[in-house]
Amino acid sequence: MRARKLGQTDLWVSELGLGCASWWGRSTFDEVTAVRVVHEALDLGVTLFDTGSSYSAGEAEPRLGRALRGRDTAELVIATKAGTYHAGGGRIARDMSPAAVVASTERSLQQLDLECLGLLQLHGPSIPELEALTGTLMTLKARGLTRAVGLNSFDPAVIEHALGLAAIDTVMIDYNVLRPEREPLIGRAVAAGKGVLAGMPLAMANTLPLFARIRGRRDFWYLARAMAHHRRDLANGRRFLFLHEQPDMTGAQAALAYVLANGDVSAAIFGSTRIEHLRENLAATDLVMSDELMRRIRSAQGALSMP
């Protein structure tokens, strides 16, 4: 597994990271299997694990903490998020007040059984919230509660604003074959000294034929979420069916290889609940995308329907 430097921090991360959220963290998903996924990722060289205080109805952080128990975490970068929380009944609520962000960080450390986070990210802040919290983030670093701070946002205007804030070390951006328009923003982020994490690098499996995604109960959950919130991506994804017809790599590997071909990306973070799926995805670290495949991707991107 290759490692890449995370912006101008002193952190190096595996170029593929494991997202510990969604179905992986839910109580309906067997914890023994969830822990095995984390241990397999560790054994295959993953050093970046990304989660959030509000993920999986608030269960993702404690589950990741249990999965890491007894393992050497000294070289790991454990990233989590503050500013949102599980409000019950499947609802996620926001509280970006300085006091709430500090309390969330301290609670995350307890749940993850860590003395210091590798990365603390604000979870979808607005520009005014981001401005108001820069001092709080710097204080959390000064207290030794986190080594780096950043934000996770799929709003380009918020990311653009963050590039001018010295307190921000990293940005997480939705970047995949369906989001080529993010590439100039990623370039500007790196020019501003920010580390870039690619969220949703597999485009939430929207490049797969609709019902080819269904292999078990959890897949119905992901499909229902895509149909409710990502209909444009489902439609655009049909232009990339050829990714799943390559002779030397799977569709998921091709999607990850595309993201990793961008040298400005420090790491691509994907989720997995199956050991075989995890191994398949992590093998993308050894793959090089051909010029012809990149040409076909660029051609398909030229016909995308944009918001």
What confidence tens digit (pLDDT) does each residue in 227-285 have? 566 678 878 888 999 999 999 999 999 999 999 999 999 999 999 999 999 999 999 99
Nearest Cα residue to 267 out of 6, 1, 35: 6
pTM, full prediction: 0.92
User: How far is the C-alpha of 22 from the C-alpha of 271, rounded, in Å?
Assistant: 8
Residue 306 scores a pLDDT above 80: no
| Residue 295: predicted pLDDT | 97
Least confident of 109-118, 157-166, 188-197, 235-244: 235-244
Give the model's pLDDT for residue 227.
58
pLDDT per residue as tens digits for the range 177-230: 999 999 999 999 999 999 999 999 999 788 886 555 556 666 655 566 655 666
At residue 213, the pLDDT reads 58
Amino acid in the structure at residue 186: I
Q: Is the pLDDT of residue 52 over 80?
A: yes
183 neighbors 262 (Cβ within 8 angstroms): yes
Q: What is the mean pLDDT of the chain?
A: 92
Phi, psi angle pair for 230, to nearest 5°: -135, 45
